[in-house]
Amino acid sequence: MAVALASLVIASPALADAPEPKPAVLAETTAPDNPTAPESTPIVEQPTGPTTTLTTSDVTPAEEPSKFGGSLSIETSVGIGTFVSGPQENSVVTTSFSPSAYYQIAKDLRVTGALSLTWYQVLDVDTPLSEGDALLSDISLGVSHGRIYHHEDSGFNLAGSLRLGLPTSLASQFQNRLFTLSSALTASIPVGPVSFSYSLGFGKYFNLTATPTVDCQDFSNPDECISGRNANPNFGFESERRGPEVYLPGAGATSFYVQNSFGVTWTIIDELSLSLGLAISNSYGVRSFPKDDLSGDNASAGRSHRDRLSSSLGLDYTINRHLGVGASLTTDTSTPFGANGDDFPVIFDFTRASDNITSINISVTGSL
């Protein structure tokens, strides 16, 4: 049986409800659930042990590889705002623990499971969290196929996955989520030592209500629990207390998302690779809103909509088949066009350092 080893990583913090661009920031909390990352990676078959032939007439067959496997990663995230001096300094350091496991059903078909736990160690930013808080992600259960189609001559490969997300995260519980269904198709092709990939993902959220809620029973002083301005929790920007709960419509709960991901990996040597990744997510709310006096200058009427951009430049070194190390620079933002909507999409942005949308990551990952 494959057994997971522990791993250590320094990466950027996140509270995001996102698909899997890898989370990087604290301030942005409503992007889609990420699928994040391993789901679109083609499955690599586990190597089998050599066959031992005896000098007698008896032959000992090769030992069958285990159908079970898994890994454990530990990530520590340091936001760029930690390194800014003066009033713009906003230190953020988090550590994430991410176990995953799989069972090999067939040659290229696996059942998978994953989750993560993020520990917020340093939070010198405006956030409802406190230092020392730990948040659990949604638990992901799925099926992945590493070779839906493979062309031997060109190396072109098509992989896919289907995942079920259980609402174990605080973000999902806040939106009264029942579960999430997400799928992805990933096409990749090697050109010499460089591999290019593209992934198209879609996720659908199933919620009990169209608006998030807060349970006032969780407050030590129930009078501090937010109460609404008007008495209609279904339309507009009103909120309403119903027994122990307060409905907070805002933009409403998220209905679904679409994600496009692009990746380039250069295998410098067998053990060392340099990769560049870019993911663009577009999430849409359950409800539609008119444009009124409460709307921003750049708002438009219709279904609530939010974009998210995540980019990463990473260097990875494989020490052996059980252990690898890496370093990366990551930017993750739900306002890629800036606060006023007139900027170009941001990749590796340092101008908003105090927002901690960019982070430095160092990782060590082990598996068996």
Domains of the chain listed by start with CATH number: 8-43+66-212+251-367 (2.40.160.40), 214-249 (no CATH)
Task: Give the per-residue pLDDT at 66.
Answer: 77
Task: Give the per-residue pLDDT at 39.
Answer: 34
Task: Give the per-residue pLDDT at 354.
Answer: 73
Report, as an integer, the average pLDDT of 298-320: 85
Gap between the Cα atoms of 103 and 101, Å rounded:
7
Task: Give the per-residue pLDDT at 28.
Answer: 40
Is residue 9 over pLDDT 50? no
Task: Give the per-residue pLDDT at 36.
Answer: 36
Alpha helices in the chain (DSSP H): 170-174
Is residue 20 over pLDDT 50? no
Gap between the Cα atoms of 348 and 346, Å rounded:
6
Chain segment 197-214, per-residue pLDDT in tens: 999 999 999 998 888 877
Chain segment 219-248, per-residue pLDDT in tens: 777 666 765 544 444 444 456 666 666 766
Single out the residue of 361, 310, 359, 362 nearest to residue 125, CA to CA: 359
Token duo for residue 185: 């198709």
- Would you tell me how many other CB atoms lie within 10 Å of the CB of residue 196? 13
Band of residue 159 on the pLDDT scale cut at 50, 70, 90: very high
Task: Give the per-residue pLDDT at 241.
Answer: 63
Task: Give the per-residue pLDDT at 202.
Answer: 97
* DSSP result, 239-266: -EEETTEEE--TT--EEEEEEEEEEEEE
Which range has the worst mean pLDDT, 103-107, 320-324, 337-341?
Answer: 337-341
Is residue 254 over pLDDT 60? yes
Chain segment 175-185, per-residue pLDDT in tens: 889 999 999 99
Band of residue 364 on the pLDDT scale cut at 50, 70, 90: confident
Q: In the predicted model, what is the mean pLDDT of the chain?
A: 77
Chain segment 267-287, per-residue pLDDT in tens: 999 999 999 999 999 999 887
- Alpha-carbon torsion (103, 104, 108, 111), positive or negative: negative
Task: Give the per-residue pLDDT at 315.
Answer: 93
